[in-house]
Amino acid sequence: MGKYKFESTEHELFRKTLRKFLAEEAEVQYNQWEKDRLIPLDFWHKLGQLGYLCPQVAEQYGGLGLDFSFGVIIQEELERIGSSLIGVGLHNDIVVPYIEAYGTDAQKSRWLPKCVTGETITAIAMTEPGTGSDLANIQTTAIRDGDYYIVNGQKTFITNGIHANLVIVAVKTNPHAEKKHRGISLLVIEEGTAGFTKGRKLEKVGMHAQDTAELFFEDCRVPVENLLGEEGKGFTYMMEKLQQERLAVAIAAQSAAEDMLALTINYVKSRQAFGKSISDFQHTQFKIAEMATKVELGKTFLEALIEEHIAGKDVVTKVSMAKYWITENAREMSAQCMQLHGGYGYMEEYKIARRYRDIPVMSIYAGTNEVMKMIIAKNTGL
């Protein structure tokens, strides 16, 4: 698909340089990373050295002070390589912005510079074994004891869970709050804190190289100065930041859809059946036409949303629409593109097989698509 309207010469150069770097440092190694079930730390360090980690961070903390549009390019180019690289986007555009928005000057000075270099890898721990979309009902507690919070609980499905050495954890600082969401706070917990342990790396259907893990907190003593923002405001902070998180998921799904379409067009042109290219069959042409139309619609919608988001507008309803529709479209396309690849589509060496495994979870995480429809319905006045 074409470039975004907001892309300047600077954006084009940024994309070109990043694409070249990823071709050399990620694309050729990616299959091995999938087999190893992990992306190596040295790749994170290389991203940091070249300015591809948290480019939006202010220069005083080691960043480049760029706006979200450069983050969009990073997300797209990583997704072109493979969905297992989503942990980088999570670090850049989802977790670190919490520290930027709600952290004190001391906290920013302490944590942000290493987030930019890749020495620190972040995660955000909301989901629990018994609580997903219903964030107000988390059970992990953080009870104040002098200059510390004593944290007890368990988190699961945590992206970057194995590599992360700085985790923003949603906790109940007031388990008896009359309105449950008002008892929630955010604590920044560092690796090595006594009582904080990582569980196994979870085996997933797809995104094999992406490290998803369980986290455990047992009488974990966290200094009070690690409280992010105000006590009791954690739920509000998470709601404020979910707009960008869901937009990031839509961007990844759109990039995957564009990649699948390009892969499939190339395949059907080269594959012969009954004495001619399978791209000559009307059925193939109609399927490609349908998918190309939906990809173009998704791109146009997303472009408008990104511009409004960068301008600071409240686009929660539209972002919910984009997250739901674009991820559903990508999931449908993964099946159709695999079908058009025939038997080869089911073979591991063909990228479409990996896409078919990786894409379904996009309609689940960052709020299920059913939750997106609830938000749309509510904000439509129903």
In the set 34, 77, 245, 258, the catalytic residue is 245
3-state secondary structure (DSSP) of residue 114: helix
Say whether 178 is catalytic. Answer: no
User: Could you tell me the two tokens for 304?
Assistant: 């408008």
Cite the DSSP H helix spans in the chain.
9-22, 30-36, 41-49, 68-81, 86-90, 96-102, 105-117, 234-270, 282-310, 316-340, 351-358, 369-379
HSE-up (13 A, CA, CB side) for residue 325: 16
Sign of the torsion formed by the C-alpha atoms of 250, 252, 257 and 258: positive
- Let me know: does 35 contact 93? Beta carbons within 8 Å: no
Which among 261, 267, 256, 275 is positioned nearest to 349, based on CA atoms? 267
3-state secondary structure (DSSP) of residue 108: helix
User: Could you tell me the two tokens for 333?
Assistant: 């396309």
Distance, CA of 308 to CA of 313 (rounded, Å): 5
Distance, CA of 44 to CA of 58 (rounded, Å): 20
Give the distance, in angstroms, between the CA of residue 65 and the centroid of all CA atoms in the same chain: 21
Question: What is the set of active-site residues?
Answer: 245
